[in-house]
């Protein structure tokens, strides 16, 4: 299946997709990836290659490190894909989950790599320094979770699917929320997420206020193609000032990923390509699977609508995706 007559969306995952060894194959196989990682290390002021390839995992998991690492990996994957396809496969829409929204803006031409890297470095520093709380993922609809969360000083952090809602709060409050939720929904056990804070909730307001001067000062252009906003669930306004406002609010409001998917389906997207990161217990890049694919498939379950999905998250899947989509 070539890309001709396809409505293509590029998507980028958020935190939780990082792993030690991420990018090792790209650096080995593609000189452009080596150059991109070296540029990132110089801009960040530390050896990103060593951190990504050797860890330790507890350092890579810190949001101040995760965000630059994942952005660099995702955009290195994008750059390699563009090389392999001679820039002939172009999206009509881009989207990213949380941190991934910054990658989506780079892919759409609104940010350059260096500016995006500096933004997410500062974003991660602010979230790690000024944030608070923890996160839980519930296999429940928003309307079932939110009333219980609000009774326990917790807040919705992400609406990923109609039956997947993430909540943030302080540890003891989340413990009490879990007890209450299991009383009402005994077969719907939540999963504690490995994060430094209750991202995308009111626990990030102080972090957002400290991040705002960096965001305000960033050079940004109107995107060349449509980009989806986590804050609204719909398309970004092309005005850079409006985009910055939505990125600011995104830090302490829920990620409306199900809204993003519904907008993409309404736009009649036929093909999705996911760049960067990876999930799975295997230690090597080729062992990983894409982060967002399962959410897309679940969102389409029971629907007559379908999309072609391509992972572009390591050397092999990049080659496979490029071959499949080459005009």
In a domain, 183, yes or no: yes
β-strand 308-312 against 93-96: which pairing, if any? Answer: unpaired
CA-based nearest residue to 91, from 319, 290, 307: 307
- 255-279, pLDDT tens digit by residue? 999 999 999 999 999 999 999 999 9
Report yes or no: 136 and 149 within 8 Å, Cβ to Cβ. no
Q: Identify the CATH number of the domain in which residue 266 sits.
A: 3.40.366.10
- Clarify whether residues 297 and 223 are in a common domain: yes
117-164 pLDDT, tens digit each? 999 999 999 999 999 999 999 999 999 999 999 999 999 999 999 999
User: Locate tokens 């629907």: which residue?
Assistant: 303
Q: Which residues contact 184 (CB under 8 A, 6 or more apart)?
A: 144, 148
The rounded distance, in Å, linking the Cα atoms of 98 and 146 is 20
**166 in the same domain as 152:** yes
Residues 184 and 206 in one domain: no
pLDDT range class, residue 18, cuts 50, 70, 90: very high
Does 36 fall in a domain?
A: yes
Share of the chain above pLDDT 70, in %: 99
CATH number reported for the structural domain that contains residue 141 in this entry: 3.30.70.250
Mean pLDDT in residue range 42-64 = 97
Q: 78-108 pLDDT, tens per residue?
A: 999 999 999 999 999 999 999 999 999 999 9
Taking only the tens place, the pLDDT of each residue in 198-240 is 999 999 999 999 999 999 999 999 999 999 999 999 999 999 9
How many other CB atoms are there within 10 angstroms of residue 283's CB atom? 11
In 154-217 the beta strands, taken as DSSP E runs, fall at 155-161, 164-169, 191-193
Domain identity same for 57 and 103: yes
Q: Do 138 and 285 belong to one domain?
A: no
* 143 shares a domain with 97: no
- Which domain does 262 fall in, by range? 8-130+201-325
Residues 76, 312 contacting (CB under 8 angstroms): no
Active centre residues (catalytic) = 98, 200
Assigned domain for 239 exists: yes
168: tokens are 């943030």
- Which strands make up the sheet holding 226-227, listed edge to edge? 226-227, 93-96, 8-12, 271-275, 308-312
Q: What are residue 137's phi and psi, to 5 degrees?
A: -105, 120
Residue 168 lies in a domain: yes
Which among 35, 33, 39 has a CA at the least distance from the CA of 79? 33
Domain co-membership, 238 together with 126: yes
């Amino acid at each position: 299946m070539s890309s001709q007559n396809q409505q293509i969306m590029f998507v980028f995952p958020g935190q939780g997709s990082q792993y030690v060894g991420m990018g090792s194959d790209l650096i080995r196989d593609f000189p452009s990836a080596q150059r991109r990682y070296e540029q990132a290390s110089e801009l960040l002021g530390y050896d990103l290659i060593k951190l990504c390839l050797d860890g330790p995992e507890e350092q890579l998991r810190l949001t101040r490190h995760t965000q630059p690492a994942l952005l660099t990996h995702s955009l290195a994957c994008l750059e390699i894909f563009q090389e392999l396809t001679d820039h002939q496969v172009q999206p009509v829409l881009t989207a990213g989950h949380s941190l991934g929204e910054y990658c989506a803006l780079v892919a759409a031409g609104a940010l350059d790599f260096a500016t995006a890297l500096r933004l997410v470095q500062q974003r991660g520093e602010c979230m790690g320094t000024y944030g608070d709380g923890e996160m839980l993922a519930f296999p429940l609809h928003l309307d079932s979770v939110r009333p219980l969360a609000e009774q326990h000083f917790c807040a919705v952090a992400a609406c990923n699917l109609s039956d997947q809602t993430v909540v943030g709060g302080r540890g003891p409050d989340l413990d009490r929320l879990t007890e209450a939720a299991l009383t009402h929904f005994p077969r719907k056990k939540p999963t504690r997420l490995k994060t430094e804070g209750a991202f995308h909730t009111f626990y990030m307001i102080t972090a957002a206020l400290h991040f705002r001067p960096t965001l305000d000062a960033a050079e940004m252009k109107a995107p060349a193609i449509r980009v989806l906003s986590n804050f609204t669930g719909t398309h970004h306004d092309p005005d850079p000032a409006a985009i910055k406002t939505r990125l600011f609010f995104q830090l302490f409001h829920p990620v409306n990923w199900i809204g993003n998917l519904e907008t993409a389906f309404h736009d009649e997207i036929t093909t999705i390509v996911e760049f960067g990161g990876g999930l799975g217990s295997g230690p090597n890049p080729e062992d990983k699977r894409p982060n967002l694919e399962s959410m897309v498939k679940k969102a389409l379950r029971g629907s007559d609508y379908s999309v072609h999905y391509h992972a572009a998250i390591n050397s092999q899947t990049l080659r496979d995706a490029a071959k499949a989509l080459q005009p």
